[in-house]
A and B are shown apart, each in its own frame.
Chain A
Amino acid sequence: MNYDTTGPVDGVDRRSVLAAGSAGLSLSLSGCIDSVRSVVNRDGGDQLSLSIATVPSDYDPESLHIARHLESNLQEVGIDAELTFRNPSDFLEMILLEQEYDIYVGRHPGGYDPDFLYEALHSTYASANETGWQNPYNFSDRLVDVDLADQRRRTGEQREESLERLLDTVAELKPFDPICRPTAYRLYRDDDERFTGWDEVGDFATRHGYLGLEPVDDVDRLTALVTDSRPSANINPLSPINREYDTIIDLVYDSLATVVPDDDGESEVEPWLAEKWETETHDDGRTTVTVTLREDCRFHDVDEDDDREEHVTRVTAEDVEFTYWFLNDTAFGRASVSSPAPRYRGLASAVDEIEIEDDYRLRLTVDGNVAVGERVLTVPILPRHVWVDELNDRIDDPADFSTSQGEWGLVTSSSVAPIGSGPYRFESQSRRGHLTLERFDDHFTLREDVGDGDDETHLRGPLVEELRFSVDPGSDTSIGRIVGGGADLTSSRVSSNTVGQARAAADNESDVELVESSPPTFYHVGFNTGTSPTSNELFRRRIARLIDKAWIVDEAFNDHAEPLVTPVTEAWTPERLEWGGTDPVTPFFGTDGELDEDAIEDAHRAFEAIGYRVDDEGRILG
């Protein structure tokens, strides 16, 4: 096996950098780096080196904490680890698009249903070199592929069996190592002078948290604080790098169905833009979903003073069909090679056939069970007329048109008009300032006959005229703004190190409330399985054993998180992969986050067992 490393940080060790540094502080000369490399090569064997990509503390203190822990333990055992910092969108660009990394630490949106792993791990996305959220690990394993496909088609106990096997294999092969799932805490002002309905409102991580809040008298704006400034610059629904969560997109774009989390960390898929659907399972495991759309729903580009029939753009079965085909090929058949979207790929690829019956009825046949068929309905519905125009604008020469999949303007640019049919429509944005949405008065949830039934509590509509997502520097200032009455709620989760502060604010102020929820989002360490040395699963498992998840939960999350062995939600976790004080598959080499001499010795033996050499100074050589 070849352990040669040719990564971007190839062989830069601290001592030689310091030596080069003291020789002359010529930091801003790139020649400096070259001289450092030649110093290293004189020692004989090269020390194994790895880069760990993450974001600075301003953006995500928890990720950096995990990365620092891993960096320090890698250095302890004699691997030259180095952190690489990127801002959140450059970070995702590096991981999802360029896929040039060894190891990264970040957040994954996860999923209530374990089927999200299909998108994350299926080898078809790796072999096609697709960029985006689909398999950024370049992971490829035939058995995993079989189980991923099986769990899609099977139901009941059979599905659970496939899933157990899948989760076992994933825990062993470690394309990524799930670290923990944080509890999400948010603050809101339960101020009767401004809004009523806080008790019934949904999870603030979903669209339902912003619908149904009734403004009092002349209150015309709900201010939600976000610590992520990316939505204030770009809300292209297909952009892979501008968000981890779909909250804002789901307010601007409707989907056929909506995910409604319950209090137990589970969720239901309920009708949204679709009035109803019927499912029929075939013998081959495929499912046909017959969808009935709500009639006369409109897209946001409607001009309210112009109701001439030809100018009204209604959401029809054609837009739905377009959306699914477009997600599978954003070049829409105009280029010689198809160009799948860098988001929603796993769901869109499950759709085999679409038959339109009439304007408001269509049949989708998906390669999967009912659960997959329903999850497929949760992608945002895009207006055909807008996106086809945008596509045509980008074709100079129809005979010679090609796209750079996942990265070209149509799926990344903020210039694509943000027109959906959702409860709020785009009003304005100011970079690093705010994103402001305005109520879409034509939205179906505002119709008199919608949302009254007992089983329709999730169909509450947009009541306040304006919804502003205001960018705030950090959780601590956000708490200050909520207490001071400058904002209504924190849309971003309060960071772990300020949960205590948030709780104190809720205890001391009568009209400030703290709410907690457990979304499926998890923190993880991702490995590039396409490059050496992280291509070796035995190597990845040894790296995973340098991570103390219990210590991380305690130190980086102040205990506001659950350590994980497997990335699925609690309800889907097999007993074998439950957290039992330690990681049952890759237990930490040391204790309490630290590696003592014995632990370092154990780690060295483990690396030697897979062909690495350890030199006299305790460095692992590649």
Chain B
Amino acid sequence: MLGAVLAQLIVVVTAMVFVSVGLFVGRDRCRRTRSEWRHRLRAAAPITIFLAVILLLNSVARQVVPDFSWIGEWRLGVAWNATSMIYDLEGEFIVWLQSQATPWLTAYFSFIYIYGYVFMLVFPVVAYFALSDTHPLRELLTAYALNYALGLLLYTVVIAYGPRNMLPDLVDALLYDTYPRYQHLTRQVNRNTNVFPSLHTSLAATVSFLAYRTRDSYPLWTVVAAILGVSVAISTMYLGIHWAIDVVAGIVFAYVCVELAGVLVGRWSVSDWVAGRLRD
């Protein structure tokens, strides 16, 4: 079941990336990449390794976190159950949003939530790799790493559930009701307490913010990324997975990660450091 869903995801996203490379990147950049890829790879290697380590830690921690947060909640008092509080804060905005539902919208937002989102994360990696300047690529990978690292920290502190889990009589689990098979996929990457902030939103917003920064290189992608980013944010609420507060927090969180990445990238250079050590 998981295998089939995963295979479909890979095929669709790969096709989308290929088409987008043709549309946004262009032949010239591809040609230059062919001669410069070694240099670019070397420049991006340290942050890529760092991101890989974070992702690995993340997947290990997901196994452990429920127990850890349980300790947090009951023994140390650092965390508390925020769900009811979130619900009270925003009333029934999600219920209103879902009242606008049509089959076409549901199909669109389901597609965006699964395929659009994965495409949004993958394509900029390819697009920025095709630029001679490796700065955007390193910034992107750093921002991803920060999203995952800091996001995990927040998930251990804020234990909350999404609208579909709290108001099943008012909010439909549109994605899972319409396409139950996706549960196999989302369960692999997400726990139902990983709600605040919305990591879907924050990663999508991260890509949109960075697309704006690189608007001179990819003007058309900036527009597409903005549309996709807004769609992903709405889809998480429309599908009953996140509260509006999670989405707002996700956007703020993305802004912080992008700013931090801007500060951090270029500050330390691993190759300079190695070269320095060799000279000594």
Q: Which residues of A contact B (CB under 8 A)?
A: 12, 14, 17-18, 21, 25, 27-28, 30, 56-58, 61, 64-65, 68, 82-87, 90, 98, 431-432, 473-474, 476-477, 480-481, 484, 486, 555
Contact A484 B1, CB 8 Å, known A17-B89, A477-B180 = yes
Which residues on the A side are within 8 Å of B80 (C-beta)? 30
The complex places the Cα of A140 from the Cα of B186 at a distance, in Å, of: 46
Contact A82 B192, CB 8 Å, known A64-B168, A486-B1 = no
Q: Restricting to B159-192, which residues have a CB under 8 Å from any CB of A?
A: 161, 164-169, 173, 176-177, 180-181, 183-184, 187, 192
Which residues on the B side are within 8 Å of A28 (C-beta)? 82, 157-158
Structural contact, B183 and A474, CB atoms closer than 8 A:
yes
Structural contact, A86 and B1, CB atoms closer than 8 A:
no
Contact A61 B180, CB 8 Å, known A25-B248, A56-B161 = no
Structural contact, A84 and B169, CB atoms closer than 8 A:
no
The complex places the Cα of A222 from the Cα of B159 at a distance, in Å, of: 36
Structural contact, B1 and A85, CB atoms closer than 8 A:
no
Structural contact, B1 and A480, CB atoms closer than 8 A:
yes
Between A65, A85, A87, A476, the greatest number of chain B beta carbons within 10 A of the residue's beta carbon is seen for A85
Structural contact, B88 and A476, CB atoms closer than 8 A:
no
Which residues on the A side are within 8 Å of B161 (C-beta)? 56, 85
The complex places the Cα of A476 from the Cα of B176 at a distance, in Å, of: 9
The complex places the Cα of A477 from the Cα of B173 at a distance, in Å, of: 14
Structural contact, A68 and B167, CB atoms closer than 8 A:
yes
B245 at the interface (CB under 8 A from A): yes
B217 at the interface (CB under 8 A from A): no
Q: Which of A98, A431, A474 contacts B176 (CB 8 A)?
A: A474
Q: How far is the CB of A557 from chain B (nearest CB, A)?
A: 13
Structural contact, A27 and B1, CB atoms closer than 8 A:
no
The complex places the Cα of A174 from the Cα of B248 at a distance, in Å, of: 44
CB closest chain-A residue, reference B161: A56
Structural contact, B84 and A85, CB atoms closer than 8 A:
yes
Main DSSP-derived SS at the A contact region: mixed
Q: Which of A21, A56, A68 contacts B192 (CB 8 A)?
A: A56
Structural contact, A477 and B184, CB atoms closer than 8 A:
yes
Q: How far is the CB of A247 from chain B (nearest CB, A)?
A: 23
Which residues on the A side are within 8 Å of B1 (C-beta)? 477, 480-481, 484, 486
Q: Which of A27, A86, A431, A474 contacts B85 (CB 8 A)?
A: A27
Which residues on the A side are within 8 Å of B59 (C-beta)? none
B86 at the interface (CB under 8 A from A): yes
Contact A27 B82, CB 8 Å, known A87-B66, A477-B1 = yes
Q: Which of A58, A61, A85, A484 contacts B81 (CB 8 A)?
A: A85
Q: Which of B158, B166, B245 contacts A25 (CB 8 A)?
A: B245
**Selected A-B contacts with CB under 8 Å, 15 pairs:** A18-B88, A27-B89, A28-B82, A28-B157, A56-B165, A56-B166, A57-B164, A57-B165, A58-B165, A82-B88, A83-B87, A84-B81, A90-B73, A473-B184, A477-B180
Between A17, A27, A484, A486, the greatest number of chain B beta carbons within 10 A of the residue's beta carbon is seen for A27
B106 at the interface (CB under 8 A from A): no
CB closest chain-A residue, reference B164: A57
Structural contact, B168 and A477, CB atoms closer than 8 A:
no
Q: Restricting to B60-81, which residues have a CB under 8 Å from any CB of A?
A: 63, 66, 70, 73-74, 80-81
Which residues on the A side are within 8 Å of B187 (C-beta)? 432, 473
Q: 1/0 per position for B126-162, CB-CB distance to A under 8 A?
A: 0000000000000000000000000000000110010
Between A30, A477, A484, A486, the greatest number of chain B beta carbons within 10 A of the residue's beta carbon is seen for A477
Between A28, A58, A83, A476, the greatest number of chain B beta carbons within 10 A of the residue's beta carbon is seen for A58
Which residues on the A side are within 8 Å of B66 (C-beta)? 87
The complex places the Cα of A17 from the Cα of B86 at a distance, in Å, of: 10
Between B81, B86, B166, B184, the greatest number of chain A beta carbons within 10 A of the residue's beta carbon is seen for B166
> A82-B84, A476-B180 given. 10 additional CB < 8 A pairs?
A25-B248, A28-B157, A30-B80, A65-B169, A83-B87, A85-B81, A473-B187, A474-B176, A474-B180, A486-B1
The complex places the Cα of A431 from the Cα of B65 at a distance, in Å, of: 13
Which residues on the A side are within 8 Å of B165 (C-beta)? 56-58, 85
CB closest chain-B residue, reference A17: B88
B83 at the interface (CB under 8 A from A): yes
Q: Which of B73, B158, B192, B249 contacts A58 (CB 8 A)?
A: B192
CB closest chain-B residue, reference A481: B1
B48 at the interface (CB under 8 A from A): no
The complex places the Cα of A481 from the Cα of B181 at a distance, in Å, of: 10
Structural contact, A90 and B70, CB atoms closer than 8 A:
yes
The complex places the Cα of A480 from the Cα of B91 at a distance, in Å, of: 35
Q: How far is the CB of B254 from chain A (nearest CB, A)?
A: 16
Which residues on the B side are within 8 Å of A18 (C-beta)? 88-89, 91
Structural contact, A27 and B86, CB atoms closer than 8 A:
yes
Return the 5 tightest CB-CB contacts between A and B, nearest first: A56-B165, A473-B183, A57-B168, A476-B180, A21-B89
Contact A14 B180, CB 8 Å, known A30-B80, A57-B166 = no
